[in-house]
């Protein structure tokens, strides 16, 4: 009996030792492969950053207008939607080829600051809403050519409406990102970390990159950065009771070993601001315009 207890005790000690070695090995591997995350939202709230684009203060008010964007036409027709590739049909629409830049948003912000004109904002927007993004002007992520990030739903709705545009629905965004053949990534079905700006991307700095960079990651319709760089709000509601909306596209600050596919839903509350959230705008297209579009 005692011999059996002694054997069981030795087995238990052996299991604990093996578990300890495996745990230490895992922690060492994690320390080597994890990339430090940006400061949490709480650490940025209340911090005043320098105005990143002070030259706008000298612009006359009549010059503070939406900067035109290059849009691509997505023709009407069927495509495969969601992780189960459900057939869906959409009318034709336009969507921005590039994510909205910080410079484009800065013009809007300067206009709002001077005029306090919220007539284009969402009717349910909180009173006296400040549309300054989270971390606005933070040096490590500030550049005129970078996508604007740190926006909540009220911010992106306000900008799109001010620019005479709208936000894409989740279905529109996904069709623009993956085309009609049900691909997992904008460029195809094989994961390639060199085609998007995500977390610990190989050879990439831990920051945003210009919206017109990395053309090798384009979608079938020619959209840039549909995965990585900024994640993007859509106008689709996932939970109307709690005010949860759908974002798409992963972002630069997430450091998983592999980014989410184009079908992944990034759910966020209407008031959520983080350093990964930006936008691209959409617009309706006519049937005649759709008919002239090349089929892809």
57 phi and psi angles, rounded to 5 deg: -65, -25
Q: Do 163 and 122 reside in the same domain of the chain?
A: yes
How many domains does one find in the chain?
Answer: 2
CB-CB contact of 267 with 246 (8 Å): yes
Strands 244-248 and 266-269, sheet pairing: antiparallel
Which pLDDT does position 129 carry in this prediction?
95
Query: Which residues of the chain register pLDDT less than 50?
Result: 18-46
Which pLDDT does position 3 carry in this prediction?
56
pLDDT tens-digit profile of 233-244?
Answer: 999 999 999 999
Q: Do 115 and 25 reside in the same domain of the chain?
A: no
Which pLDDT does position 66 carry in this prediction?
98
Which pLDDT does position 45 carry in this prediction?
47
Q: Do 25 and 114 reside in the same domain of the chain?
A: no
Alpha-carbon distance values, 203 to 194, 199, 206, 228, 292 (Å): 8, 11, 9, 15, 40
CB atoms within 10 A of CB 116: 8
Q: Do 180 and 82 reside in the same domain of the chain?
A: yes
Q: Do 200 and 234 reside in the same domain of the chain?
A: yes
Give the CATH number for residue 94: 3.90.1580.10
Which pLDDT does position 81 carry in this prediction?
98
Q: Do 272 and 173 reside in the same domain of the chain?
A: yes
Q: Do 121 and 192 reside in the same domain of the chain?
A: yes
Which pLDDT does position 12 carry in this prediction?
55
Which pLDDT does position 199 carry in this prediction?
73
Strands 71-74 and 86-90, sheet pairing: unpaired
Which pLDDT does position 286 carry in this prediction?
81
Q: Do 89 and 106 reside in the same domain of the chain?
A: yes
Which pLDDT does position 201 carry in this prediction?
53
For residue 179, give its domain range.
41-292
Q: Hey, is 245 helix, strand or coil?
A: strand
CA 173 and chain centroid, separation: 11
Q: Do 103 and 142 reside in the same domain of the chain?
A: yes
Name the helix (H) or strand (E) containing 110: helix 102-115
Q: Hey, is 287 helix, strand or coil?
A: helix
- Structural Rg of the chain based on CA atoms: 23
Phi-psi region of 233 (alpha: psi -120 to 50; beta: other; left: phi over 0): beta
Copy the structure tokens of residue 8. Answer: 């069981």
pTM, two decimal places: 0.82
Q: Do 169 and 149 reside in the same domain of the chain?
A: yes
Q: Do 174 and 91 reside in the same domain of the chain?
A: yes
CB-CB contact of 153 with 270 (8 Å): yes
Q: Do 147 and 288 reside in the same domain of the chain?
A: yes
pLDDT tens-digit profile of 138-191?
Answer: 998 999 999 999 999 999 999 999 999 999 999 999 999 999 999 999 999 999
């Amino acid at each position: 009996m005692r011999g059996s207890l002694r054997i069981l005790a030795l087995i238990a000690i052996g299991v604990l030792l093996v578990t300890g070695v495996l745990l230490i090995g895992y922690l060492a591997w994690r320390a080597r492969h994890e990339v430090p995350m940006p400061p949490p939202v709480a650490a940025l709230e209340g911090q005043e950053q320098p105005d990143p684009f002070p030259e706008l203060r000298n612009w006359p008010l009549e010059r503070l207008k939406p900067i035109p964007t290059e849009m691509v036409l997505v023709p009407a027709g069927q495509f495969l939607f969601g992780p189960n590739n459900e057939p869906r049909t959409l009318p034709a629409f336009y969507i921005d080829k590039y994510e909205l830049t910080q410079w484009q948003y800065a013009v809007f912000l300067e206009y709002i600051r001077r005029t306090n004109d919220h007539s284009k904002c969402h009717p349910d927007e909180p009173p006296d809403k400040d549309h300054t993004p989270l971390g606005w002007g933070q040096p490590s992520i500030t550049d005129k050519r970078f996508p604007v990030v740190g926006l909540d739903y009220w911010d992106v709705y306000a900008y799109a409406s001010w620019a005479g545009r709208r936000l894409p629905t989740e279905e529109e965004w996904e069709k623009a990102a993956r085309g009609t053949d049900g691909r997992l990534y904008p460029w195809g079905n094989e994961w390639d970390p060199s085609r998007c700006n995500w977390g610990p991307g190989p050879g990439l700095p831990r920051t945003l990159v210009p919206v017109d960079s990395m053309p090798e990651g384009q979608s079938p319709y020619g959209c840039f950065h549909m995965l990585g760089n900024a994640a993007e709000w859509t106008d689709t509601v996932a939970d109307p009771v709690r005010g949860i909306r759908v974002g798409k596209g992963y972002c630069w600050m997430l450091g998983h070993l592999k980014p989410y596919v184009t079908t992944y839903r990034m759910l966020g509350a209407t008031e959520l601001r983080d350093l990964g959230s930006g936008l691209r705008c959409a617009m309706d297209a006519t049937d005649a315009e759709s008919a002239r579009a090349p089929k892809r």
